Structure 1
């Protein structure tokens, strides 16, 4: 009986296939927007593109883990009981960052409203649109698989830096939709990568404290949600997030609670 060959470089294959799936889907979203499709249609299409990593992982699963069940793998990522202290600490940190940025922007803004939403209905829609177009579609592949797979060979911190870099590069097509050019565009890329990689380290630390994929989903959700709520200059917003999340990442690296970033992580 022939056994199915196991991928020699599963993480690299996952990253490559994720980009191969993402790029054409992203261009379809752009085409739909240019052709004047309804906003809700464009939003749905954009949500689908965010699931490219999950699709790629599902396609490669049998070659990465021969003989295992994809459904069972997913269930394993949510089996550990959530710890209130972990969730509370993570959300509190992000809420404080949000309030600090809100305070800074409000003191330097001349716009009528500091928020991008004007009603509870819009707020709820924005929250769930962000949830579907980011955290739910990305975390299984990037965190649930790639991060954990690299942690078999590297420390969680090193694995976070590697995955954080490639996760950031995966967003490359989106950079060109910002409307920025020249030095501002270069600054945006730099701050974006710092913010992404710092957030990735924070995600890894809190995930390893609880071993439940809900944790990085929550952190990812509030990162996207909070930055999208503030009506401010895009470059300034990404810069503030980069600075504050980098500070938190450095503090966590120094403290290394329960050796979650470098040490004996199960």
Structure 2
């Protein structure tokens, strides 16, 4: 049975509502820091703010997919069997990038420790803190919905560039909390956008190969985790990540494995048809 959406521009509505929800929550994050609240309160509020895209999508869901179940939609995003080879290759690429950046920083940095954590306990906390305040809260809305929705009308590559740009712009308030000003801030913003849009293309390719939301969650997690693990200048670390992920994205665009980014109708578009309106 054909269904018609009440929202003429569901992706635009999602992006707008995501930002509307995120901004006041992010202000609370800043207020908790300024007022000297305990670290755990800061982390909790930060985690909640990272879920703004999921909140926005949940609110809009019934207006986009009439008569469908939100929980069933979520379950469908994880129902396909994970392909070990896809996950392994993605992690190996990110591990290689991490090791290359680690090598570069270790030969140029004068700090006592090259890592930002000093114990296994802190490493575990750091890992799960990043997982909760990043990938788990962001991927359903940005990848599970917005990317899939645009792939109904555009190639995965074009959809990735569009969503990658707006996903990057969603981080705009965070840019001004880095303490950077002038040319350093401009460099940071440009490098950030290159890094995040390149990573978005990588995520789309591997996601379309496996059709399980766990894949982009893993890639997103290791991007954040590895970058934050190295003790170095923020702009330099971002520059290294931007360069390496851009190179990987270009290679994947050229190779275009199984036409996952452009060309023939890919499996992601076929799978998305059950949600078409």
Query: Which TM-score bucket, shorter chain as reference?
Result: over 0.9
Structure 1 CA distance for aligned equivalents of residues 239 and 192 of structure 2: 8
Task: Report the equivalent of 1:214.
Answer: 214
Q: State the shift of 1:6 in Å.
A: 1.7
Q: Which secondary structure state, in structure 2, belongs to the residue aligned with residue 246 of structure 1?
A: helix
Query: 1:73-122: per-residue Cα shift (whole Å, max 9, x none)?
Result: 00000000000000000000000000000000010011100000000000
Q: Between Structure 1 and Structure 2, how many residues are aligned? A: 264
Alignment of 1:1-266 (within 5 A): 6-263=6-263, 264-266=265-267
Q: State the shift of 1:136 in Å.
A: 0.0
Q: Which secondary structure state, in structure 2, belongs to the residue aligned with residue 116 of structure 1?
A: coil
Query: 1:209-260: per-residue Cα shift (whole Å, max 9, x none)?
Result: 0000000000000000000000000000000000000000000000000000
Task: Report the equivalent of 2:273.
Answer: none
Structure 2 CA distance for aligned equivalents of residues 112 and 45 of structure 1: 32
After superposition, the CA RMSD in angstroms is 0.9
Structure 2 CA distance for aligned equivalents of residues 44 and 96 of structure 1: 32
Whether the 8 Å contact between 1:4 and 1:63 is mirrored in structure 2 is no
Q: Check 1:70–1:41 CA distance in 2 against 1; reply closer, same or farther (3 A cut).
A: same
TM-score by length of 1: 0.98
Structure 1 CA distance for aligned equivalents of residues 111 and 19 of structure 2: 38
Q: State the shift of 1:5 in Å.
A: 5.6
Structure 2 CA distance for aligned equivalents of residues 234 and 5 of structure 1: 43
TM-score by length of 2: 0.94
Q: Which secondary structure state, in structure 2, belongs to the residue aligned with residue 82 of structure 1?
A: coil
